[in-house]
A = this chain, B = another copy of it.
Amino acid sequence: MVEHPAHLDRTDPAGHIAAAAAAYRNWGRWGEDDRLGTLNFIDDARRVAAAALVQRGAAFSLSQPFDMNGPQQGWRRRTNPVHTMLDTGTDAVANGQGFPHGIGGADDVIAMPLQCSTQWDGLGHIFDRGTAWNGRPADRVVTSEGDLVTGIEHAVDRIVGRGVLLDMGRHLRPDGELPDGYAITVEDLESCIAAQGPTSRVGRGDLVLVRTGRYTRAKREGWNGYAGGPSAGLSFTTAGWLHRTEIAAIATDTWGFEVRPNEFDDAFQPLHQVVIPNIGLTVGEMWDLDDLAEDCAADGRFEFLLTAAPLRITGAVGSPVTPIALK
């Protein structure tokens, strides 16, 4: 097997996907009943070590906002969140709301796709030729009732550990922003790690955050196709690296984690098809890495304690998340 071919054949996504899936498949590695995939790489010792990285006590939220001004434009019925009120302060002042002794209250409701803003893809989010994580038939895993096997609730206490930021934008471009369509390669990742120094080493159980600068531009210029349009992102050829580094999860500041347009003529998110159902990798998207990146650039430390628990939504194939990096 050629791990990352010099040349991808743009006309053969199916062939490349099949080869990569066969090469990097982790099915059975954590038993027949596994629901966690590479999150299994995080263990107590790694969490202790991660907590020991906290030196200054600076906390960074890596979440984008959740509101109607978000990037969604309706692709596959993904909308922006609709947040409405059940009770308000205007009501409390106007009519007392039926409560005694001057208490008043406000209360609210949200309707949103679970992947409308900063999120994790669960293991049930993507299938490879009808098969879900660990080799299960997709139609036995995710029905209209949700993910009956690998729902994101199983990961609820698992995503806390050592985070490491690879600031590809800063590493590769003076303005800190990769151009749309830029496919980040293994060489790019390794040269970034080398340049950023020892706090950037990547290995088993790490939670790797890759900043492209795509969201930085969106904040400055407007969404302009952030959700589904062109963007820098990981090359399909990084599949082997994602496998052999034994990272626990990866997240980016882009909509779709991998480079867009994809690197094949007629394709849709081919790297997802390898990493989620085959490697068992948990993938995060639409994170805001800018403040953290600024801080890392300033102090030269690219590692931190990262806590990024999904909501415990039974049977969900994705989840909004508020990742917190603590340095």
Contact = CB atoms under 8 A, between A and B. Distances in A.
Query: Max chain B CB contacts within 10 Å: which of A101, A102, A313, A315?
Result: A101
10 contacts: A17-B101, A17-B102, A47-B326, A67-B314, A78-B86, A85-B142, A105-B126, A106-B147, A107-B113, A157-B324
Contacts of A138: 89-90, 92-93, 104, 106
Interface string A139-178: 1111111110000010011101000000000000000000
A1 interface: no
A4 to B, nearest CB: 19
Nearest to A305: B51
Copies in the complex: 4
A199 interface: no
B143 A90 contact: yes
A48 interface: yes
Contacts of A153: 65
Contacts of A130: 92-93, 102, 104
Question: Top 10 closest A-B pairs, CB basis?
Answer: A44-B57, A89-B138, A51-B54, A47-B57, A89-B142, A104-B127, A102-B129, A61-B157, A67-B314, A309-B322
User: A interface, how many residues as a size bin?
Assistant: 35 or more
The interface residues of chain A, by DSSP majority, are classed as mixed
A213 interface: no
A79 interface: yes
Interface stretch (A26-34, A227-235, A262-270): A262-270
A121 B90 CA distance: 18
